[in-house]
Amino acid sequence: MNPFTVRYSSEHFCDREAEIKKLKANVTNELNTLIHSPRRLGKTALIYHLFHKLERGKKHETIFVDLFATTKMEDLIKELSEKILEKYHKKSFIEGVKSVLKGISTTISISQDGTPELSLQLTETNTVKTLNHLLKYLENRKKKVILAFDEFQEVVNYPEKAEAILRTAIQPLSNVIFLFSGSTNHLLQDMFLSPKRPFYQSTEVLVLGKIERKIYFHFIKTNFEKYSKNIETDAIDYILDFTECYTYYTQVITNQVYYQTNKTITAGEARQIINEYLETKKTDYQNLLNLLPENQKKLIISVANEEVVSKPTSMEFIMKHKLPSISSVAQAIKALAKKEILYKSPNGYTVYDLFFKRFLQRYYANNGR
Ligand SMILES: Nc1ncnc2c1ncn2[C@@H]1O[C@H](COP(=O)(O)OP(=O)(O)OP(=O)(O)O)[C@@H](O)[C@H]1O
Ligand SMILES: [Mg+2]
């Protein structure tokens, strides 16, 4: 059993105590919360962990809806219906549909593997009706229901006026508490921070940061020891320097280091395992880099080498890295940020994917010159 996993596990979950406490307090006080952070820091896992704890407490019921693949209201409603049916009517799907979607026109088909599949005949007029119907079902549960919409920024792209529809449907509810989550970007921020938008100031906000280094250090050490392995202090420091305590990357690397050794791990061994792992990613990253136009390629290499760049259009940065004109750099920034290859942090621009950054630093050090 590898205690360092990239799938959520309640047993092998590191910290987030302050965040869980805050979210629990919001639930108790019936406040909706928006959770955001850069990608891969642990929003989804945090919600799973909160739900695990709430379900264990037996005072609440929890429903998790992932909106990642949704493109319209109908998809959201379908996802929500399926989650409700799965939770409350696992034994009899058809009975469940009758009870949850009473009065709503539906078709049930049987898929190839024999499982029933729901399709809803949604028209413009009954979309809102169906949504209200589902929420009413949750509103009438005896226990308080916590409903999470992960990747909530997707609703911005729906063709319907989804924000307004959802806000209106959510507002009158008193038995359902909402969690909205997504990665930090202008779509999500505009939604909750712009005074003209329906969700403006409607929620508490939790910005998820990195796990504290001291805590991650302890987590790694104790999890090695728990399974009768050892890791030297320098090795943990080497790993956390490499991953910058970024959750996903730390989990991936500790997972590798853990399973590839069965004795005491030294910093030298950790470095070797990390190098080998980076080698396995080399072809993909090389392809990604090769696909970029020349000005974007040069810029991302320069940013990787600088770690963080607060003023990429400054003469100093442009001269140092022999970049083309200001306008070409500005254009490259825009394009790379849109593709989420570049990330705009409060301190400046960085390469979004840490492994990609390490790849560039290794193979394109000093701007490839
Ligand atoms: N507290 C934690 N302890 C251990 N592993 C964690 C923890 N939080 C997250 N992880 C792991 O880190 C990775 C990233 O977490 P998660 O998918 O929750 O991030 P996210 O912020 O939702 O990312 P995205 O924005 O891409 O959806 C996952 O592999 C997850 O299992
Ligand atoms: Mg997520």
CA distance 329 to 139: 52
Which ligand is the nearest neighbour of the Cα of 46?
A: 1
Beta strands in the chain (DSSP E): 33-37, 60-66, 106-110, 116-120, 144-150, 176-183, 204-207, 230-231, 264-265, 342-345, 348-351
171 touches 140 (CB < 8 A): no
Cα(193) to centroid(ligand 2), Å: 21
pLDDT for 301 equals: 97
* Closest to 61 (Cα-Cα) out of 119, 163, 149, 147: 147
CA 247 to ligand 1: nearest atom: 12
Phi-psi region of 40 (alpha: psi -120 to 50; beta: other; left: phi over 0): left
pLDDT for 262 equals: 82
89 touches 95 (CB < 8 A): yes
For tokens 């979607």, name the residue.
101
41 touches 248 (CB < 8 A): yes
CA 37 to ligand 1: nearest atom: 21
Q: What are phi and psi of 183, to 5 degrees?
A: -85, 150
pLDDT for 112 equals: 85
* Closest to 253 (Cα-Cα) out of 268, 270, 237, 230: 270
Joined together, the tokens standing for residue 263 give: 């004795």
Which ligand is the nearest neighbour of the Cα of 13?
A: 1
Which ligand is the nearest neighbour of the Cα of 340?
A: 1
Asked whether 42 lines ligand 1 (CB < 6 A), one says yes
pLDDT for 53 equals: 98
* Max Cα-Cα span within the chain: 69
Asked whether 93 lines ligand 1 (CB < 6 A), one says no
Please, is 111 exposed, middle or buried when counting C-beta atoms within 10 Å of its C-beta (0-12, 13-18, 19+)? exposed
Asked whether 7 lines ligand 1 (CB < 6 A), one says yes
Please, is 52 exposed, middle or buried when counting C-beta atoms within 10 Å of its C-beta (0-12, 13-18, 19+)? middle
Q: Give the 3-state secondary structure of residue 176.
A: strand
Enumerate residue ranges in the chain where pLDDT < 70.
367-369
Cα(157) to centroid(ligand 2), Å: 18
Cα(44) to centroid(ligand 1), Å: 6
What is 292-368's CATH number? 1.10.10.10
Cα(46) to centroid(ligand 2), Å: 9
CATH class of the domain at 17-207: alpha beta
pLDDT for 223 equals: 96
pLDDT for 369 equals: 45
Cα(42) to centroid(ligand 1), Å: 3
pLDDT for 368 equals: 43
Asked whether 210 lines ligand 1 (CB < 6 A), one says no
> For a substitution probing ligand 1, which of 2, 8, 36 has the most ligand atoms within 8 Å of its CB?
8
Asked whether 14 lines ligand 1 (CB < 6 A), one says yes
Cα(46) to centroid(ligand 1), Å: 7
* Closest to 344 (Cα-Cα) out of 309, 317, 314: 309
